A and B are shown apart, each in its own frame.
Chain A
């Protein structure tokens, strides 16, 4: 047990240590030192990234009585989660400022959520998976509710209710799978299934499990929460919500699909239908919407739908496209939310009109934001273009049956283009009231925005190294 801890669990252990530090400090330290909470979190997360080098991955390492596993796949996802966690922690300054003595508690919760995300990816057992998912979800309720005012509480409650229902669905599916295979271990189930003939009941349990898990990605049956939650939360929390749960749950869902749920046609078909319905709903909803955060909520749901559609067509190539798309998407999204964080701290609202003419006084920030949005829309020179082609080549390679899905999804990206253009157009317009000010941005906010933009462009110009890495991970799962 102790060996397992040192072999694969050190990054998580480091996070646990820093959570404890935060909790202790929150009790004993004077409220006027609240500004140290953020640096401590950042140190903890960067230490976690450093400790990733100690994790054993070759070829696969099963620890804690097969409850936790570690390979190149989990390592990459852990890295991605920690990187996003680092960026999110950097963006929390303005939120924490208003909290005073609660700052340390807030950061403890944030780190717990990141820890939960990491545990979700590396779970190798449905029990540990369930606990990890809850470890990710519970802090998220508090994070959403951390903003002052009524709407954040409502959003938090809505998210709680949706998640409670979806957890029930997930456990129902797990119970069926346990009944069929009398095992809860993901890799053992895989072996059992290969020996038996997969039955319809087996597909059914797979559908329920995936359905329960993807609710946190805002996929169709449980998609509505995303609008209220995005509307009610603070932007740094949105940066968290649109990245870390996504990475974690896509990580585990893709592996479940490859490992144990296999590629039964029913499952693929149900996932495809869910994805298409979500994409249609999200993209059409955003057309008339005027609130930036709600538009981004729709974009988040739509992107998740594209990814889950490709992930459902299980193959190693598709897995590599999914990993690459997630990497690019997460970076662009963080850039967008970093910009919104800057405007939010400058007292600018969330309506499209509020952004009018920002370009004329803030060339750099506005262009960086525009690059991220253009990337989300899938235009060239950004990683969005390459990842779009690469992701959809996965559908094209899966056979002609899925061609209608490919065309439908691509046509929906046209709809998406409309609202992405709506997001950047006001910035370059001339404002009538002409009282646009120079935005004051903290170094950390600018840092996140610039790093995300530069990476977006760099991956767009030269994607080969990252794609190779994704392929290596996907083919060695």
Chain B
């Protein structure tokens, strides 16, 4: 099926709007820019929903753009080709939703350089949409690198009056880590491209054209490990995770939402696309090791999160823990595992967006993120307290919320996986350890919201209208997918 208009429209319109914003012809008025971007994101979300509604998993959206009859880089067989399959359409819609939330929640967090900020945000959106839809290794890599520059400026930029030396450092750390990872991806892609060419005679970067069967096994493992390092940085898998807490903590709230909500999922998507689908022969053998790494992710970061005092850091570490669960779902290497993994990506994106939103709201009003200094703010922020309770309950896996389904199905898939007994072992250990997550999340709720209110917090206001909209959208999503998980699972043909 050729969708020459619709897919490029979905991906490149944010970038074009960003260029429009950056151009000198566009007004400098902050309110106009903000409303314009919010409206645009809302329309983009509606468009994504429409594409989701008309999606048929038997006929994925597919298009290849030719330039004057030639491929993009014909000499290397690189095509400008896009394909949206069922995983892609879910993540695309999620991206659109998260960016809409981020644009709305930027109002109070961003006080300076609006033009630059919103254009960078939209370029980041384009890049991430490109990652989820590209159908060519090199195109994937292009979008993967494209996302770094806007992310660098968004994390490290000076968006309000406060001092941000830490933010700059963590932005550099983020870029260096991801770029190092992507170096390994480039090595993997180049080797795969070359060996695919000498074994099949097809010079192509298309995912569908790459056949790994005739490549020598040792080289297959080499390539697979290169990819795992690249995506392991982004996911993150434990020894490669140190950029994440810094970046998430020092970035402004909307960017934390984007980072935890979507950017980490690109790592999981990469493992799905490259290792799970393309290098599947090696993945079967690597999966047990990955599952153990996932277990370490789940356990280790849960304990680390419990010992943190910065509320944003707690949420950041909980993200790593949850990404471990997503990785475990992929390692199960069965249909339920994949479905559960994608489902948990959506659920976790919503939860973590909500949690970062709450952290941002608290920090804006109380000027502190230290959990020991916060106390009793529920008495004059009842609406925030309500939302916080719902989202925290959702995050610890209470039934009727989406993460419950994600966690349970992931662990089930891992337990019933027929690949290796290691996965059963991992499942058995992961389930009780999820309790730790309830410990740190409840600590977050308990210390921050209950107790005697401090004098300095008495005059603090409750949430404003746009924050209410964002939090209710997230909560509705959590409850909706918690009660009707088949909305997503049907798309994965698991209903």
**Which residues of A are interface residues toward B (Cβ below 8 A)?**
320, 363-364, 367, 374, 378-381, 385-386, 389-390, 392-393, 396-397, 400, 403, 406-407, 410-411, 413-414, 417-418, 421, 425, 428-430, 462-464, 467-468, 471
Partner of A379, one of B22, B75, B76, B149: B149
Chain B contacts for A367, CB-based, 8 A: 22
Known contacts A392-B190, A393-B190, A428-B116; A411/B183 CB under 8 A? yes
Q: Besides A396-B190, A410-B186, 9 other CB < 8 A contacts?
A: A380-B143, A380-B146, A389-B141, A393-B190, A407-B184, A421-B172, A428-B157, A464-B71, A464-B72
B179-219 interface bits toward A, Cβ cutoff 8 Å, 1 = contact, 0 = none:
11001101100110110000000000000000000000001
Q: Is the CB of A385 within 8 A of B142?
A: yes
Minimum CB distance partner of B181 in chain A: A414
- Whether the Cβ atoms of A430 and B176 lie closer than 8 Å is no
> In the bound complex, what is the Cα–Cα distance between A206 and B387 (angstroms)?
74
13 interchain pairs, CB-CB under 8 A: A379-B146, A389-B138, A393-B194, A396-B194, A397-B190, A407-B187, A411-B183, A414-B179, A417-B176, A464-B70, A464-B71, A464-B74, A467-B75
Docked-complex contact A379 and B71, CB < 8 angstroms: no
Give the top 3 A-B pairs by smallest Cβ distance, nearest first. A396-B190, A410-B183, A380-B146
In the complex, B54 has a CB within 8 A of chain A: no
Cα distance, A374 to B179, chains bound together (Å): 13
Q: Are A464 and B183 in contact (CB under 8 A)?
A: no
Question: Given A397-B194, A414-B176, A429-B158, is A386 in contact with B187 using a C-beta cutoff of 8 Å?
Answer: no
Of chain A, the residue at the smallest CB distance from B143 is A380
Also in contact, A417 and B190, with CB within 8 A (given A385-B142, A430-B158) = no
- Kindly identify which residue among B75, B116, B146, B176 contacts A468, using a CB–CB cutoff of 8 Å: B75
**In the bound complex, CA of A284 to CA of B153 (Å):** 24
List residues of chain A with CB within 8 A of the CB of B156: 425
Which residues of the other chain, A, contact B193 by a CB distance below 8 angstroms? 393, 396
Q: Which residues of A contact B76 (CB under 8 A)?
A: 389-390, 393
- Nearest to B70 among chain A residues (CB) is A464
Which of B70, B149, B176, B187 touches A406 (beta carbons < 8 Å)? Answer: B187
Question: A residues within 8 A CB of B138?
Answer: 389
Complex CA gap A381/B191 in Å reads 23
CA distance A41 to B38 in the complex (A): 53
Q: Given that A413-B183, A418-B172 are known contacts, is A380 also in contact with B75, CB under 8 Å in the complex?
A: no
Report yes or no: A392 in contact with B179, Cβ–Cβ below 8 A: no
Over the window 420-463 of chain B, the binary record of Cβ atoms lying under 8 Å from chain A Cβ atoms (1 yes, 0 no) is 00000000000000000000000000000000000000000000
Contact A421 B175 (CB under 8 A): yes
> Nearest CB to that of A415 among chain B residues?
B176
For A425, list chain B residues within 8 Å (CB): 156, 168
Q: How far in angstroms is the closest Cβ of chain B from A88?
A: 29
Flag if B148 contacts A379 (CB, 8 Å): yes
Q: Are the CB atoms of B73 and A386 closer together than 8 Å?
A: yes
CA distance A430 to B164 in the complex (A): 12
Q: Would A396 and B75 be within 8 Å (CB), given that A374-B149, A389-B138 are in contact?
A: no
Please give the distance in Å from B426's CB to the nearest CB on chain A: 31
Among A406, A421, A429, chain B packs the most CB atoms within 10 A around the CB of A421
A396 and B146 CA atoms in complex are apart in Å by 23
The one of B116, B142, B187 that contacts A410, using a Cβ cutoff of 8 Å = B187
Q: Verify B142–A380 contact, CB threshold 8 A.
A: yes
- Which of B71, B116, B152, B183 has the most A CB atoms < 10 Å from its CB? B183
B281 part of interface (Cβ distance < 8 Å): no
**CB closest residue in chain B, given A463:** B73
Name the distance in Å between B328's Cβ and chain A's nearest Cβ.
29
Docked CA distance A411–B177 (Å): 11
Docked complex Cα distance between A375 and B112 (Å):
27
B66: min CB distance to chain A, Å: 10
- Residues A414 and B183 in contact in the complex (CB < 8 Å), given A379-B148, A385-B142, A428-B116: yes
Nearest CB on B from A459, distance (A): 11
